[in-house]
Every structure is written in structure tokens, then in C-alpha cells.
């Protein structure tokens, strides 16, 4: 960027001579007012998703959805020499490793498999009438956190995902002074599993709300 005629301190006629202070009190000399963003990155994500809603009776509902993304990769990037090109062959050995990871690993935060299900049953008679109970399960395959040498997903580096988590909730509808009141309680991450949703920061352990 320093070679650009309208960037940084290469044109003090635009940015002002050293010591010039604008009406807002900001020093103009050697300050950047233009920034170029590289475009042209080509990513390819190919897959399929589905959703099924099943309600065999009025007081029971089941929802299942998921996805299989069998391809999630970068095809080309102006700033990253692609393996096999002249620019790539001119790189150092360590720089080639970085580009191999960039093009060889999955795109960040795109697990290959996801599956979620929620099932709810509502009691409509007897002493439990008005009570709804539900259970949910969430599954994700491994998820790349970063395509860098430090996090190398091609050589055992840390990845998020790869979890199966269960939740349970209950709700009760009742009346108070003629008003309809709904009380809810839930326990999330029932098995108190340590898991990582899509980052290196662990997701919440078992909690009640």
C-alpha cells in the first residue's frame, strides 16, 4: 500500500505537511485516508440440507433438520499463491506449508455434518393438563477454527465441533386472577459436556434457566 500515490505519507500535498492539524484537531500528515481491499477470493461450498416436521397428533411435534456440506474450500485467492503456480514455487518451504493449509483445509466454521432435532409433547388431559415437555439434540462434526500454521487442521491442530449435546425444557400454562401465565424451565447441555461450538472458547456447560 505504501507504493500507492494516494496512500499514507507519499503525498503530503493531500495529507498536509508535517504538523498540519485539521479543524477537528486530527493531524493530517502521514495519516491514511484511503484503504484498498482485495477482492476476487473464490470459495466453493457445496452440499444439501433438509428439514422434516412430523406431527402425528395435535399435541406432539417433532422437527428434524440437518446438512451435509461435502465441499467447503477456497478455489482461488489473489493474496495466496495456489500450489503448482510459479508464485507458489518461488515461496520458502514454510510459506508453502501455509498455502497448502489454506487451500487444503475446509473453510472455517463450515462443519461437514450438522443435525438438530426438537421434540415436544403437551398434556391435554388429567392432572398434567397444560404441561409441555420437550427434548432437543444438537450434533456437529469437526469445524476448522483457523487455516494457519499455528492451528494446522491438516496435522492434528485444534478444531471445534465434534459434539453431541442434549437439552430439555418444560413449560406449564396456568391461570392467575383471570390471566394466562406460562412458566418455563430448561436444562441445557444435560450431560455437562465440554464442547466448542465454532471457536477456541468453550461453550457453556450444563445450566438451568
Q: What are the tens digits of pLDDT across the range 15-27?
A: 555 566 666 676 6
Place of cell 422434516: 52
In 3D space, the residue among 184, 181, 180 whose CA is nearest the CA of residue 170 turns out to be 184
Beta-ladder partners of 170: 133, 185
Round to the nearest angstrom and report the end-to-end CA distance of the chain. Answer: 51
Structural element, H or E, at residue 98: helix 93-104
Helix or strand run (H / E) with residue 145: none
What is the separation of C-alpha 46 from the centre of its chain, rounded to a whole number of angstroms? 17
Count CB atoms within 10 A of the CB of residue 4: 13
**pLDDT confidence of residue 174:** 81
Give the global pTM: 0.76
Nearest in space to 9 (alpha carbons), one of 25, 31, 36, 34 = 31
User: Tens digit of pLDDT for each residue in 50-106?
Assistant: 999 999 999 999 999 999 999 999 999 988 999 999 999 999 999 999 999 999 999
How far apart, in whole angstroms, are the C-alpha atoms of residue 119 and residue 185? 16
Cα-based torsion angle of the residue sequence 79, 82, 86, 92 in order, rounded to the nearest 10 degrees: 80
Counting residues of the chain whose pLDDT is more than 90, the rounded percentage is 69
- Tell me phi and psi for residue 98, to 5 degrees: -60, -40
pLDDT band for position 157 (cuts 50, 70, 90)? very high
Cα separations in angstroms, 92 against 34, 89, 96, 105, 194: 32, 8, 6, 20, 39
Amino acid at each position: 500500500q505504501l507504493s500507492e500515490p494516494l496512500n499514507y505519507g507519499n503525498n503530503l500535498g493531500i495529507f498536509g505537511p508535517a504538523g498540519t492539524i485539521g479543524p477537528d484537531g486530527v493531524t493530517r500528515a502521514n495519516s491514511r485516508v484511503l484503504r484498498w481491499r482485495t477482492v476476487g477470493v473464490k470459495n466453493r461450498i457445496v452440499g444439501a440440507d433438509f428439514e422434516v416436521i412430523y406431527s402425528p397428533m395435535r399435541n406432539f411435534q417433532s422437527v428434524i433438520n440437518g446438512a451435509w456440506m461435502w465441499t467447503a474450500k477456497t478455489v482461488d485467492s489473489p493474496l495466496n499463491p495456489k500450489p503448482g503456480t510459479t508464485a507458489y514455487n518461488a515461496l520458502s518451504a514454510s510459506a508453502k506449508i501455509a498455502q497448502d493449509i489454506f487451500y487444503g483445509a475446509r473453510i472455517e466454521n463450515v462443519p461437514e455434518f450438522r443435525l438438530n432435532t426438537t421434540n415436544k409433547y403437551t398434556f391435554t388431559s388429567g392432572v398434567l393438563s397444560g404441561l409441555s415437555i420437550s427434548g432437543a439434540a444438537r450434533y456437529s462434526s469437526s469445524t476448522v477454527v483457523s487455516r494457519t500454521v499455528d492451528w494446522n487442521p491438516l496435522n492434528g491442530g485444534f478444531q471445534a465441533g465434534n459434539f453431541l449435546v442434549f437439552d430439555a425444557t418444560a413449560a406449564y400454562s396456568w391461570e392467575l386472577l383471570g390471566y394466562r401465565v406460562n412458566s418455563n424451565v430448561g436444562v441445557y447441555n444435560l450431560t455437562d459436556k465440554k464442547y466448542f461450538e465454532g471457536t477456541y472458547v468453550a461453550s457453556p456447560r450444563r445450566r438451568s434457566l
